[in-house]
Amino acid sequence: MWLYEKILEYPVRVYKTDLRMAKYLMAQYGGPDSELSAGVRYLTQRYSMPTNRAKGLLTDIGTEELAHWEIIGTMIYKLIKDATPEQLRQEDLGGYFTEHGQAIYPADASGIPWTAAYIQATGDPVTDLHEDMAAEQKARTTYEHLIRLTDDPGIKDALRFLREREVVHFQRFGEELNRVQEELIANKVF
């Protein structure tokens, strides 16, 4: 189903260790509006879409969200890989280090582990596509907040790329919502 190329969708350049930024980025790694949540949401919802086009769109965007999850994980890893346990403790990442070392684990910026309760799949394509559009807007907002929290030009660059992809996904979901609604109306007999 997927062709995996062993390169990131967008390059990640990190110029210094920044534990606070790593912690903030965890919002997009394991939070309710994270790339993981989006990928799982879309790859789950695709089954109940009424058209092959809608199923394909959710598959494509869900797959891309997992590629974005990989980008976020890479940024976090690069930001913390050279930190000492003492530095991690000073930035309130001592508990994280205790359980995960410098491994990347899907939790949000507050340390709350990812849960499937973050996603929704109702089986109603109109409801689910509205949910998807809202998810893309929430992720875009989070990226805008993250961009303002860093002075690292490499991190800003990658975050801008990810923010723009959220805008494109929002637009594609909106277009598909219109098509799905037209399809559902066309299939009704009054």
Q: Residue 159 belongs to a domain with what CATH number?
A: 1.20.1260.10
**Which residue intervals of the chain are DSSP H helices?**
19-25, 27-30, 35-45, 52-80, 85-90, 94-100, 125-148, 153-186
In a domain, 63, yes or no: yes
In a domain, 6, yes or no: no
Contact criterion met (CB below 8 Å) for 180 and 172 = no
Domain count of the chain? Answer: 1
In a domain, 76, yes or no: yes
Q: In whole angstroms, what is the distance from residue 175 CA to residue 183 CA?
A: 13
Domain holding 154, by residue range, is 19-186
Tokens coding 126? 């109109």
In a domain, 94, yes or no: yes
In a domain, 7, yes or no: no
Stated pTM of the model:
0.94
Residue range 118-169, pLDDT digits in tens: 999 999 999 999 999 999 999 999 999 999 999 999 999 999 999 999 999 9
In a domain, 3, yes or no: no
Place of tokens 């995960």: 100
